[in-house]
Structure 1
Amino acid sequence: MAAATAEMLQQLQSQITCSICWNYFCEPVSIGCGHSFCRACLPSSTATVFSCPECRQVSQVRDFPLINGSLVELTKLGKQLSSQLVQSAGGQRRCATHHQALEFFCEDEQMLLCQSCCQNPEHGAHRLSSVQEAASNCRKKIQHLHSCLQKYFKETKKLLVKEKRPVIDWQEMIRREYLEWDSFMWPEECHHLERMKQEKKNKKARLSQQRRSLQDLMLDLQEAECQPSLDLLRDVKQLLQRSESVLSQRAKALIPEVRVCPISGMIETLNQFRVDVRMEPTSASPCLIVAEDLKSVRAGQGWQLDSQSADDPDLPIVLAEKAYTSDRQYWEVDLTQLPQWTLGIHTSYLRIKNPGRVTKCVSIFFLRCVKKEDGYYLQSYPGSLNHKLNDPIPRIGVYLEYKTGTLAFYNVLQSSLIYQLPDISFIAPVTPMFSPGPPLPGTKPGAMTLCPVDSHLCACCYSSL
């Protein structure tokens, strides 16, 4: 009877074992051909074509395939039956090769051994521990992992809350932008808004799935900590690998990326308001050098990164020679030589606080690019923009509409809106401002150049830069 039960259990185990990692299923998923594997064993990229190890049929693997709930329950049942079978046989697991009690644990191979196994030359240089000592160390690791996962779970929960109530309403920003264009743009607008809606839905689904996976893993760690030593060590290798895998896959991009939504004909339309902007050298900070043609500026020797933080909003600037008080203006700036820069507008006005006392007030509004170790980041002032860039932007277009208080920044190459500062009320002349840095240590400062009114940038121009 016991032999028949063991044979049935062996057949069950073959059905609940992943053919890639050869462990019990962990978050099992089924692919197009019908075979199932651990989710972590499958490629995660949506562009990955996966050949099934069982039948070699090619399947397109989704980013987050749905977990097969029936297989999860069946795997749990198989583990319980295996544990019960051991207990019914006297509560002591024996080596399948030597039929001796499993009293030792190999730290290098993460597996249980008997006395004869320990004498095998392949384990000669390995670290061996008693079952009790190994189980104690394992429980300490589990407690540490559980603590880390709790912190990760809280971070994921916060991200999910932020996704429900985003700081920046990108959909509203894009919608207002499209109101500026003719009705024939409606299909393109629908396409971009639907894509953004789907991206938001997918991100929310991923965060929800991540949160559920974290909850399940923390429960498994708690249960494992209370298991008998033999049962704990039997599954510890897979449990530790799963925990470390989850921790290593922590959300790398807590800061979102800048969205790219090309709008047909947008730059061509903005060029109707193109103005010839020149710099006013007398307004430049001492550490800036303005070219003789008044069309470019670079950082001088006096601007050092160690004396001027890239996160400091009060950066050295130079103003344009002309201020604007009406109409619409658009200008473009070449940034191909600069890893860090600031572009925006400057306005000053007089405020009467008390009779006979007049105070000069200054306001600035800008978009800034900051270079960090893991990439480029766009920040705004005022506002809450803090988004990551996939690649540097070679040319920025700036659009100013005085009457409506509009200040917007565009990626000229991709013909897309980068960011529009929220409702501004201008009460004084507005002057374009520029800041080419701060320069990075060990690099030669590059120039920020105002583009000629008749210049245009396209993909073929960018490829030659």
Structure 2
Amino acid sequence: MAAVLEKVQELQKEITCSMCRSYFSEPVTIWCGHSFCRACLSQSWILGARAFFCPECRQVNPVKEFPVNNILAQLTDTGKELCFLHLQSTEGQSHCGRHQKVLKLFCEDDQTPLCVRCSQSPGHGAHKVSPVEEAAHKCRKKLQHIQSHLGKHLEEAEELLNQRKRPAVDWYWMIEGEYNKLHHFLKKAERQCLEKIMEDKRASQDRLSQHRQALLDLMLALQEADHQPNLDLLQDVKQLLVRTESMLPQRINVDVPELREYPIPGMIEMLRQFRVDITMDPTVDNPFVTVSEDLKSVKAADVWQVETEHPDDTVHHYVFAEQAFSSGRHYWEVDVAQLPQWTLGIHTLHLRRRWGWYVDSSVSVFLLCCVKNEEDYYLKTYPGSLNHRVRSPVPRVGVYLEYSSGTLAFYNVLQQSIIYRFYLIQFTVPVTPIFSPGPPLPGSKAGPMTLCPMDSPLCACCNAYL
């Protein structure tokens, strides 16, 4: 019996498709000698492909169309009959373990084979019982019906997969093209900006050279006048004095450079992805500043009176943020449109020397200050080298902190241009933002310094973000 079973298994293997694991249906034999169902083979080959591979051995087949192997089809039909007869003979030899009778019946309620005596027992009296051959026939029809539905779903899945492989819109290619275009635009904008910086640098050097030459010419004229006879000196002195009076005031403009604005397209939009929701510390113990109830703004109190007209001699009063940062990237914006003078920055401790940039470990603040002197506004940094005049007040300042690289940068949000950047700061402890709404100018009443909301839009009326 074991030898017969082994032969039946070998026959089943020969007439079974290796793809669907079922008996062959319209079998075809391809170039390499392997056989498959025609439908299975068609589904395995991608439409429009130049090469067709055997699903089993992966050899390339030079043609795609193959006729049905009629001999294999007949062998499959014969093999199915033999396997069925063997199954029946096997079933005929199966006996009930309790009554030692042949299992000829099948209980559809309990899904168990029965002998005649088992079917007459009280446990199966009300159950639906049918002959094993009839139950098996129904079961095969049901499985074939399910297989038919699965075949349709498989065809749909294959079609969808092919569509995904060949999408109507190639989004990868399209998005890659947009980013390449963006990179091109940015490189062009960078090149134009750097050229503008070099032009401004050359123009500034030319102005300084011309100013220096004018001073040398005036000095030479004064020296020559000193050696002139008295009458000639008195005749030429008026012209020399006029030249001197027109030349000396130019020294102010030469000594204090003007802060240039070089917009960087998209920079503010990129930084805004790192925006953080900051609030001011309400426990500030300082009578010179007042924090609002929503902890979003601070203003100079009435007791903060500045008598001196020299901004560098005044005292600053600060408010700390409730948040501190010890990692990551962070960005916040501050509305300073109602303040003629203000200070923004960060506070930290225990700084060390790094690459020779910051040599004083006692430095614990990094600040950007706006100072008004007569009718002019100046932006200064501490520490740092920025001391520049600005054409008009900056209404909104963006602050970007990158802890790991030790970077702190300030931006003119309206112009989308950088004001100043500290770098290579070696942070070792948390960093806290600080704010100062002053010092107020003598005899003036300044407004608040306000932290901008996370989702603040552009406002056309004030030409800044709200």
Provide the TM-score with structure 1 as the length reference.
0.54
Matched, 1:269 2:270: yes
Residue ranges of structure 1 left out of the alignment (5+ in a row)? 1-180, 352-359
1:332 CA displacement: 0.6
Q: Do the aligned partners of 1:263 and 1:416 also contact (CA within 8 Å) in 2?
A: yes
Alignment of 1:177-256 (within 5 A): 184-229=185-230, 231-233=232-234, 235-256=236-257
| Structure 1 Cα separation of the partners of residues 237 and 317 of structure 2 | 58
1:322 CA displacement: 1.2
| Structure 2 Cα separation of the partners of residues 402 and 260 of structure 1 | 26
| Structure 2 Cα separation of the partners of residues 305 and 224 of structure 1 | 48
Q: Identify if the C-alpha distance between structure 1 residues 284 and 260 changes in structure 2 by more than 3 Å, giving closer, same or farther.
A: farther
1:314 CA displacement: 6.2
Q: Identify if the C-alpha distance between structure 1 residues 208 and 307 changes in structure 2 by more than 3 Å, giving closer, same or farther.
A: closer
Alignment of 1:134-145 (within 5 A): none
Could you tell me which amino acid in structure 1 is paired with residue 215 of structure 2? L
**Can you list the C-alpha shifts for 1:26-76, whole angstroms capped at 9, x where unaligned?**
xxxxxxxxxxxxxxxxxxxxxxxxxxxxxxxxxxxxxxxxxxxxxxxxxxx
Q: Do the aligned partners of 1:394 and 1:413 also contact (CA within 8 Å) in 2?
A: yes
Q: Do the aligned partners of 1:315 and 1:435 also contact (CA within 8 Å) in 2?
A: yes
Q: Do the aligned partners of 1:413 and 1:459 also contact (CA within 8 Å) in 2?
A: no
Q: Do the aligned partners of 1:330 and 1:398 also contact (CA within 8 Å) in 2?
A: yes
Q: Do the aligned partners of 2:351 and 2:362 also contact (CA within 8 Å) in 1?
A: yes
Alignment of 1:268-307 (within 5 A): 268-306=269-307
Q: Do the aligned partners of 1:405 and 1:423 also contact (CA within 8 Å) in 2?
A: yes
Matched, 1:372 2:373: yes
Could you tell me which amino acid in structure 1 is paired with residue 267 of structure 2? M
1:321 CA displacement: 1.1
1:212 CA displacement: 2.2
Moved beyond 6 Å, runs of 4+? none
Q: Which residue of 2 aligns with 1:399?
A: 400
Q: Which residue of 2 aligns with 1:154?
A: none
| Structure 1 Cα separation of the partners of residues 271 and 339 of structure 2 | 24
Q: Which residue of 2 aligns with 1:382?
A: 383
1:385 CA displacement: 1.4
| Structure 2 Cα separation of the partners of residues 259 and 430 of structure 1 | 29
Matched, 1:419 2:434: no
**Can you list the C-alpha shifts for 1:143-196, whole angstroms capped at 9, x where unaligned?**
xxxxxxxxxxxxxxxxxxxxxxxxxxxxxxxxxxxxxx9564121112122112
1:311 CA displacement: 2.4
1:422 CA displacement: 3.2
Between the two proteins, what is the percent identity of the paired residues?
Answer: 58
1:459 CA displacement: 5.1
SS in 2 for 1:281: coil
Q: Do the aligned partners of 2:414 and 2:465 also contact (CA within 8 Å) in 1?
A: no
| Structure 2 Cα separation of the partners of residues 388 and 183 of structure 1 | 34
| Structure 2 Cα separation of the partners of residues 249 and 418 of structure 1 | 25
Could you tell me which amino acid in structure 1 is paired with residue 330 of structure 2? Q
Q: Identify if the C-alpha distance between structure 1 residues 221 and 198 changes in structure 2 by more than 3 Å, giving closer, same or farther.
A: same
**Can you list the C-alpha shifts for 1:97-142, whole angstroms capped at 9, x where unaligned?**
xxxxxxxxxxxxxxxxxxxxxxxxxxxxxxxxxxxxxxxxxxxxxx
Could you tell me which amino acid in structure 2 is paired with residue 216 of structure 1? D
Could you tell me which amino acid in structure 2 is paired with residue 242 of structure 1? R
Q: Identify if the C-alpha distance between structure 1 residues 463 and 295 changes in structure 2 by more than 3 Å, giving closer, same or farther.
A: closer
1:448 CA displacement: 0.7
Q: Which residue of 1 aligns with 2:447?
A: 446
**Can you list the C-alpha shifts for 1:267-305, whole angstroms capped at 9, x where unaligned?**
111111111111111135232111111111111123221
Decide which structure has the larger Cα Rg and report it: 2
Q: Identify if the C-alpha distance between structure 1 residues 327 and 202 changes in structure 2 by more than 3 Å, giving closer, same or farther.
A: same
SS in 1 for 2:418: strand
SS in 1 for 2:420: strand
| Structure 2 Cα separation of the partners of residues 280 and 435 of structure 1 | 13
1:225 CA displacement: 3.3
Alignment of 1:3-14 (within 5 A): none
Could you tell me which amino acid in structure 2 is paired with residue 272 of structure 1? Q
Q: Which residue of 1 aligns with 2:122?
A: none
Q: Identify if the C-alpha distance between structure 1 residues 264 and 304 changes in structure 2 by more than 3 Å, giving closer, same or farther.
A: same
| Structure 2 Cα separation of the partners of residues 385 and 313 of structure 1 | 19
Q: Which residue of 2 aligns with 1:434?
A: 435
Provide the TM-score with structure 2 as the length reference.
0.54
